[in-house]
Structure 1
Amino acid sequence: MKTYCFILLLLLTATRSSAQFSTPDKYLDSLNQLISKTESDSIRSRNYFLLADYWREQDTVKAKAYLEKGKAFADKYPYMKAMYYSYLANYYLGIDNTKSEINYLKADKELSVFKTKEAYQERAGAWHNYALVQQHQDDHKGALDALINHVLPLSKKAEDKIWLGTEYISIATIFMNIKQYKKAIPYLNQGIEHFQNAPRSQYFLLVNAYLTAADNYSGLENYKQTKKYLDLAKTLLDRSKNIVSHYRIEVFQLDYYKCATTYFVATKQHQKALQHADEAIKLAKELNDNYSLQEIAFDKHTILIEQKRYPEAEKILIELVNLKETTSLTQNRLKTFDALASLYHTTGNMAKAYAWLKKSKSLGDSLSESKLKTDISNLEIKYKTVEKEKKIVSLNAANENANNKIKQNLLLNWLLGLISVFLLVIIILGWFFYRNSKKLAAQKELYHQQQLRDIERQRQIDVVQVMLETKEDEQNRVARDLHDGLGGMLSAAKVNLTHYTQEKNNNTDVELDNIVIQLENAITELRRIAHNMIPGMLLKLGLEAALRDLCDTLSTQNLDVVFQWLNIQTEPPVQEQITIYRIVQEALANAVKHANAKNILLQCTQSEHIFFITIDDDGKGFNADKPIKNQGMGLKNMKSRVEHLNGTIEILSKENEQGTSINIELHVNS
């Protein structure tokens, strides 16, 4: 199983350690100058702590000396005294985990009296490193508890998005280590969101988040998403080449090539896998990162074996055998020996295969012997423990006889007391039961009244629905009669009159031409009235086309109507589309006729079964809080149709002020 180690709080280490700084000498000079020039013991203390943190991985003696100097200057300052425990815990990190844990908890307790953002950050950092210790001890549950229940709340109080994003990525890596990749996804998304606006000098945070997400989706075998996040990381890495940062961008380029190699191996793109593996090996050598070199080299040898490029695979394995990081871990040596034995067996070199197999067996036997000694030692400890427990049991038996008499006397007193308490509890429960019975009866009555109100409301909605459907049917009938009957008659009259004019060659009769034009205008007006009464385009092309046509029809030189149709995959049923069309038609008509608007925005969106309509105009406002009986017919009809679809309507407008905003939510069937 691949182990992901969540990153340390970079905001802390950026100021506390220059181990990854491009110019560590300048960093040390800066700290020493601050110590020599300042007269403040608090500043001296802080800078000595920073020096201790810098030297803790390089010279523990020097680090301890700086730590004690900082402590001496911190005695007069409670905050710096509390900080001392945090830096002391850092000093023990990786040396003595028990002392490290104790001092992180001590730092949190001492810092808890301070309510500043810096104090919250320091406490979050202490808990973060505490979680790191738990992870190194394979206590994933303890690490998650520290991150979720302590680090996240404190980071939120510190109000630092970069800091908080780091913690979300840390939590995700824990879930990845225990193969709960799906649980890691929401934390990865939140971490990436917090890093989106990171300054250019901290692009590496977003790169690291993208690569972590790619590894996570690779664990889920969702290679489409893996490729997506790899591409995002690559794009950001390319943009970061010339950016000045405290951290070497090559470290994250190496992570990218390692992750990409894994992706191409999984998707059987062996040539690309080899290309990326070579880039990773090149970078690992430049960075002197032999652990990554070992990891990627072994992956490369696997690809070469599948491609039957045995000499190249043999060369890589021989180099791994001679690598210090490989030989320092017995399991790594065993893995490499077995790989060489398998390679030589495949190529038919049985002598070398046997030699490496013998080395593997010898090493395996050594491991088994070591395990046997450990098991024997554990058995001896268990035996001694059992003997001690026997002595304890015999001593306890003697003490138990002496205590039995005391217990018998106490038992009688307890029994009488419990009977009294039992009777008292029955009385109290009876009183509570009586009081709750009265409350329950009152609640039932309220519930009954509410049911009656709901029935009456539903009846009113049904009545309104019948009225609206009847009105819609009548409008459709009248529209058809106008269009097919009167419209046809007017069209026939126009054709006959035109034909008559052509037969008589009376092209100069101006009055006759005017009559033809008037008939044409009458036919156009009749069609417009019929179109408004029944939206034929809606029935033919759907709601979106009908609303867009309505907006285009209303738009003039003095009025701009903008229509937006967003995130709607499937339109509602036809009857609901007609209701929505009527609501929008009424709202736009009000804005045109009464508000004298110059600009109108119509926006329609949908989320599952909720259909949202927003209509904004820059016309004259009105008093939207008038009683319903004083409101116009158009507004009443619009509200009735909204209620028909179990929706809500919000009208934001004030009399004698410019602009009106209408927000409508409707329940529809997708």
Structure 2
Amino acid sequence: MMKYLPPLLLLLLSGLCGRSQEPPGRYNRDSLARQAEQPLPDSVRAATFFRLAEDWIEQDTGMAKKYAGQGKRLVHDNVRLQGISLYYDARLLAFTMPDSAAAIYLQAENRLKKFTDKEALRYRSMCWHDYARLLHFDKDDTESYINLMMERAIPLALQSGDRVWLGRNYLDLAYGFKNLQQHPKAETYLKQAIETLRDEKSGISFLTAAYHTLSENNSLSGHPAEAAAYMDSMRLLLLPYPHAAAWLDYYAGESMRLTVAAKFEQSLEAADKGIALAKQLKRTYPEQRLLLQKFYALYNKKDLTKARDVALDLSERQPFIHVAMNRLLIYYGLVVTYEELHNIPEAFGWLKRYSNLRDSISKSNLEAKINALEIKYRKAEDQRKITALNAANDKARSALKRTRLLNWSLSVVVLLLFSILLLGYFFYRNRKKTAAQREQIKVSQAMLQVQEEERQRVARDLHDSLGGLLASTKINLSAIAGHQPELKPIISQLDVSVTELRKIAHNMMPEMLLRLGLEAALQDLCNAFTTEQLMVRCQCLDIQPDIPQQEQVTIYRIIQELLTNAVKHAAATRILLQCNQRDNRFFITVEDNGKGFDTTADAKDGMGFINIRNRVAYLHGSIDIVSPQNRKGTSINIEVYVTSAIPAGHPG
């Protein structure tokens, strides 16, 4: 089985994919430049210069700064244009002084909020969008970023009627949900971005980014066909622009998709094409990002020497290695590569660097949060002092307030002490209860293991000893049956007995499970339950063959008990069994069209469900039963954990 890097890296990698703002530009630059030189009113020329700055700002900050400065000189006393000018001041400052830029964004929004025309609404939306990104998204406060996007930026974008800007907001909102690992919500907004931008020619850069991100999500979640379809859509959009920087995202996404699909040669070919184009376009960072994809393809191909060389090269490249998260990825990649090469000293050295960097990042994030809390505390403290000074004119009232404050403080201290004692008591009781539950689980685990071992022994004895004896007796009787016809009924009874004996031995320890594994045993079990009156379907997906045999037997027993319950109690005519494995998580779903039952009643306390719960607890899992009252059908969903090898990560 292929070995990948840990899945955690997939989440880190997915946040590193940059986005190129080509093709084509939002405005016609030549036309705008000519218009700016015409003898028009200053307000019109200023607006034109600002549009030129907007069009250049993602590609050449020097040109953007030049045009923004020309527009600013024509603003004069126009409050509306002053707000727009402040927006570009903040935009250009964001690269070097993000906190100052965030404050200027709010000043710009304050100037513009008295205007209700669509252009002013669009700039207000842009202010909130960039403010949320600088102050929250870039500082890992993704929840606050999402709130500002949904409550401020997107409603204003909708009012402005600018579909390209609205589509970009949906796209960036999806990145926020993706950082929180809420992939279904991220996919919803990615599709909404595509729907919004589909017919907008000037929004092709954002549309290609949406297709690229959707392809990435589907690659990492195990949907290769959908991932390939989204990459094809992106490629078709870019065909008219063969030298567009957005092709670098395409090659990176295609390389990642092919690596996940274990098509390593094709993945390397895509990465090399992207690297060649990045060199041609002189895009240093995208070239290094493609080298990272090449490393993952080489590593998973087990071309470890080349993978090591690429990773070592990247470990010294700027600006890629300047980003702490990139260093984290490369260090870890070198750890596992040297480990595979059996160079333990080098692997240990890189592991130390990886651990130190990870601890440093965690400490930095903690300090940032503490600083934010301290700022909030100081603001609250300053406000309290102002209130105290305003009340100081009346000494008697001030003394009374201090007395009340002291009494209140003492009350709070007493209440706090009581709360601590109460929490301590509850903590002790819960800890004791948890210990008892763990002990009970250990006992149940031991009982289940002994039970399965005894089942296996008895099944082997029945099959090998008693089965052989009955077969031998049948042969001996068959030899003399020709002379004594009255023995034929006895031989028939022996046939039935041998068949029944084999069925009992199979139920106690299915031979199919021992010989061919869990998936084949489950298919065989469903076939055994299927009759003319009952159809049992079995769907298995990504079940790994290296699950330990004891855990395979436990899963088999859980499913066997669930099917038995459905047949005995539900009077069902159709049963669907679905099994799916994702890394070390194993999911079981059994649905039937039977008469259902009241999940609050004692049916769940029968011996069958007790056995199921004990086995689920043995695998540290959980069980959920859905059986709506007055409706047919029952759905039982189980999630357990197995010790199958976890696939290594893929690039993002």
Question: Does the 8 A contact of 2:467 with 2:502 survive in 1?
Answer: yes
Q: Does residue 61 in structure 1 map to residue 63 in structure 2?
A: no
Deviation at 1:63, TM superposition (A): 8.8
Instruction: Provide the residue aligned with 1:105 in structure 2.
Output: 109
Correspondence for 2:503 among 517, 523, 528: 528
Give deviations 1:324-364, integer Å, cap 9, x for gaps.
Answer: xxxxxxxxxxxxxxxxxxxxxxxxxxxxxxxxxxxxxxxxx
Distance 2:478 2:622 in 1: 53
Amino acid at match of 2:512: M
Instruction: Provide the residue aligned with 1:439 in structure 2.
Output: 419
Give deviations 1:183-205, integer Å, cap 9, x for gaps.
Answer: 9xx99999855545557525875
Mapping of residues 418-429 of structure 1, within 5 Å = 429=409
Structure 1 607/422 Cα, relative in aligned 2: closer, same or farther at 3 Å? farther
Instruction: Provide the residue aligned with 2:381 in structure 1.
Output: none
Q: Does residue 483 in structure 1 map to residue 485 in structure 2?
A: no
Q: Does residue 579 in structure 1 map to residue 581 in structure 2?
A: no
- What RMSD in Å do the two structures reach over aligned CA positions? 6.2
Instruction: Provide the residue aligned with 2:474 in structure 1.
Output: 494
Correspondence for 1:562 among 520, 537, 550: 537
Structure 1 600/158 Cα, relative in aligned 2: closer, same or farther at 3 Å? farther
Instruction: Provide the residue aligned with 1:603 in structure 2.
Output: 578
Deviation at 1:556, TM superposition (A): 2.7
Distance 2:535 2:227 in 1: 45
Q: Does residue 539 in structure 1 map to residue 490 in structure 2?
A: no
Give deviations 1:97-128, integer Å, cap 9, x for gaps.
Answer: 99x979952465337xx9xxx99x97464342
Secondary structure of the residue aligned to 2:114 is helix
Deviation at 1:524, TM superposition (A): 1.7
Instruction: Provide the residue aligned with 1:591 in structure 2.
Output: 566
Query: Kindly, what percent of the aligned residue pairs are identical?
Result: 29
Q: Does residue 661 in structure 1 map to residue 635 in structure 2?
A: yes
State TM-score, norm by structure 1.
0.50
Amino acid at match of 1:669: T
Give deviations 1:597-642, integer Å, cap 9, x for gaps.
Answer: 22211122344544321110111212221136x8432223222322
Question: Does the 8 A contact of 2:84 with 2:123 survive in 1?
Answer: no
Correspondence for 2:616 among 642, 649, 669: 642
Distance 1:550 1:96 in 2: 67
Correspondence for 1:167 among 166, 169, 172: 169
Deviation at 1:54, TM superposition (A): 13
Distance 2:542 2:111 in 1: 50
Deviation at 1:561, TM superposition (A): 1.8
Question: Does the 8 A contact of 2:20 with 2:245 survive in 1?
Answer: no
Distance 2:79 2:542 in 1: 54
Question: Does the 8 A contact of 1:6 with 1:170 survive in 2?
Answer: no
Mapping of residues 339-350 of structure 1, within 5 Å = none
Structure 1 554/147 Cα, relative in aligned 2: closer, same or farther at 3 Å? closer
Deviation at 1:659, TM superposition (A): 0.6
Distance 2:20 2:230 in 1: 19
State TM-score, norm by structure 2.
0.51
Instruction: Provide the residue aligned with 1:651 in structure 2.
Output: 625
Give deviations 1:292-349, integer Å, cap 9, x for gaps.
Answer: 9xx89xxxxxxxxxxxxxxxxxxxxxxxxxxxxxxxxxxxxxxxxxxxxxxxxxxxxx
Give deviations 1:560-579, integer Å, cap 9, x for gaps.
Answer: 22222234446543323222
Distance 2:488 2:567 in 1: 33
Structure 1 8/143 Cα, relative in aligned 2: closer, same or farther at 3 Å? farther
Q: Does residue 460 in structure 1 map to residue 440 in structure 2?
A: yes
Distance 1:274 1:591 in 2: 58
Distance 2:441 2:89 in 1: 74
Amino acid at match of 2:430: Q
Mapping of residues 40-189 of structure 1, within 5 Å = 61=40, 64=43, 104-106=108-110, 108-110=112-114, 123=121, 125-128=123-126, 150-151=148-149, 153-157=151-155, 166-167=168-169
Structure 1 488/432 Cα, relative in aligned 2: closer, same or farther at 3 Å? same
Distance 1:579 1:143 in 2: 45
Question: Does the 8 A contact of 1:56 with 1:91 survive in 2?
Answer: no
Question: Does the 8 A contact of 2:129 with 2:149 survive in 1?
Answer: no
Distance 1:269 1:421 in 2: 73
Mapping of residues 606-625 of structure 1, within 5 Å = 606-625=581-600
Gaps of 5+ in 1: 25-52, 69-83, 174-181, 216-227, 242-248, 281-291, 297-412
Question: Does the 8 A contact of 1:591 with 1:617 survive in 2?
Answer: yes
Structure 1 203/573 Cα, relative in aligned 2: closer, same or farther at 3 Å? farther
Instruction: Provide the residue aligned with 1:633 in structure 2.
Output: 607
Instruction: Provide the residue aligned with 2:233 in structure 1.
Output: 236
Give deviations 1:518-563, integer Å, cap 9, x for gaps.
Answer: 4323212211111111223223333222222211222233322222
Distance 2:492 2:41 in 1: 102
- Aligned length, in residue pairs: 442
Amino acid at match of 2:152: L
Distance 1:531 1:611 in 2: 24
Secondary structure of the residue aligned to 1:563 is strand
Distance 1:96 1:594 in 2: 69
Structure 1 576/171 Cα, relative in aligned 2: closer, same or farther at 3 Å? closer
Structure 1 252/467 Cα, relative in aligned 2: closer, same or farther at 3 Å? same
Distance 1:607 1:261 in 2: 27
Amino acid at match of 1:662: I
Secondary structure of the residue aligned to 1:556 is coil
Give deviations 1:64-92, integer Å, cap 9, x for gaps.
Answer: 47999xxxxxxxxxxxxxxx976886699
Secondary structure of the residue aligned to 2:533 is coil
Mapping of residues 312-323 of structure 1, within 5 Å = none
Structure 1 445/252 Cα, relative in aligned 2: closer, same or farther at 3 Å? same
Instruction: Provide the residue aligned with 2:9 in structure 1.
Output: none
Question: Does the 8 A contact of 2:462 with 2:501 survive in 1?
Answer: yes
Q: Does residue 450 in structure 1 map to residue 423 in structure 2?
A: no
Amino acid at match of 1:543: L
Instruction: Provide the residue aligned with 1:201 in structure 2.
Output: 199
Structure 1 9/257 Cα, relative in aligned 2: closer, same or farther at 3 Å? closer
Structure 1 5/658 Cα, relative in aligned 2: closer, same or farther at 3 Å? closer
Amino acid at match of 1:520: D
Instruction: Provide the residue aligned with 1:301 in structure 2.
Output: none
Mapping of residues 294-313 of structure 1, within 5 Å = none
Question: Does the 8 A contact of 2:164 with 2:202 survive in 1?
Answer: no
Task: Tell which deviates more after alignment, 592-601 or 84-93.
Answer: 84-93
Mapping of residues 250-399 of structure 1, within 5 Å = 250=240, 254-255=244-245
Question: Does the 8 A contact of 1:494 with 1:516 survive in 2?
Answer: yes
Question: Does the 8 A contact of 2:173 with 2:189 survive in 1?
Answer: no
Question: Does the 8 A contact of 1:497 with 1:516 survive in 2?
Answer: yes
Structure 1 260/520 Cα, relative in aligned 2: closer, same or farther at 3 Å? closer
Task: Tell which deviates more after alignment, 465-474 or 153-162.
Answer: 153-162
Structure 1 188/89 Cα, relative in aligned 2: closer, same or farther at 3 Å? farther
